[in-house]
Amino acid sequence: MRFLGKLCINDFVKEKLFGMKTLLIVGGSSGIGYETAALFQKNDYKVINVSRTPCSLVGVTNKPCDVTVLEDLDKILRETTEREKIDCFVYSAGFSMASPLEYVKEGDYRYLFEVNFFAFLHCLQVLLPALRSNDGVACVVSSLGACLPIPFDAYYSSSKAALNTFVTALNYELESQNVKVVSVMPGGTKTGFTSKRKVYPPSETDGYAKMQKLAVSRLAQTEQKGADPKKVAKTIFKSCEYPSSSVVSSCFMNKCAHALSRLMPYRMRDALIKWLYFSEEEE
């Protein structure tokens, strides 16, 4: 198949002759989503990307959309399923925000949940018939923050925990529907997501500014010293190609932290999180 691709046989011909699979990805323009789209494409998938910014990979079909505008998202999804068979769906869109509860704006945390949680639910609801007809798999990019909550990023952490719980419960009702839904939890990953995080300035976080600055700094260090997004993409690809009985999984480099978060007593986990985000560095 890859040899045929090098001979410039187009996707339409390969799909008709060899049953080329199709990936629909939301959030494939950068970071983990981009590397995921690239890896699926390398493995002979036709890739359709839905995001505000187009994916720059040659051969990817882009569908511009803000996922918080459900009318536009719904239209794109339905038009796509009418024209394409969808074998795999990956949701990689995400938004992160650092703010203390006392000063957070309602519009911000509602926007976060719209991007991280509700848009994914809507995508699945629309795509389920198409996935069922192809014994398809859906995957959402969650976060290790769902198990080890991130201080001052409580909204992000809770939205990812909600995804994990939702996916776990959903698989019970889909057990007889020939559809598998999985959640993959990366830990710190070196992408541009760090710089895109919305951080409330000190002028808007009176009384919390020092703690928030330290927590945000530690989180940024963890991310920028973290995993290559290509490795996360490999976990996503494997979870879609060979879905296991575990519907919520972590990337290889984070499996130990995931296991410990489930086994360690609450006080130990609490102490670990405080050490990770608030311990003062020695001069």
pLDDT tens track, the chain, 283 positions = 343 444 344 555 545 444 689 999 999 999 999 999 999 999 999 999 999 999 999 999 999 999 999 999 999 999 999 999 999 999 999 999 999 999 999 999 999 999 999 999 999 999 999 999 999 999 999 999 999 999 999 999 999 999 999 999 999 999 899 899 999 999 999 999 999 999 999 999 999 999 999 999 999 999 999 999 999 999 999 999 988 767 888 776 676 777 767 777 888 888 888 988 998 654 3
- Output the pLDDT for position 269: 82
Closest to 183 measured CA to CA, from 233, 141, 237, 147: 141
Q: What is the dihedral of CA 248, 169, 94, 212, to 10 degrees?
A: -80
- Output the pLDDT for position 246: 77
Q: What gap in Å lies between CA 29 and CA 50, rounded to an integer? A: 8
Domains in the chain: boundaries: 2-278
Q: How many CA atoms lie within 13 A of 254 on its CB side?
A: 28
Structure letter (DSSP) for residue 150: P
Structure letter (DSSP) for residue 73: H
pTM here is 0.89
- Output the pLDDT for position 283: 36
Cα torsion angle, 131, 135, 141, 147, sign: positive
- Output the pLDDT for position 98: 97
- Output the pLDDT for position 256: 73
Closest to 135 measured CA to CA, from 181, 169, 170: 181
Is residue 91 within 8 Å of residue 163, measured between CB atoms? no
Cα torsion angle, 265, 117, 208, 213, sign: positive
The length of the chain is 283
In CATH, the architecture of 2-278 is: 3-Layer(aba) Sandwich (3.40)
- Output the pLDDT for position 117: 98
Is residue 23 within 8 Å of residue 120, measured between CB atoms? no
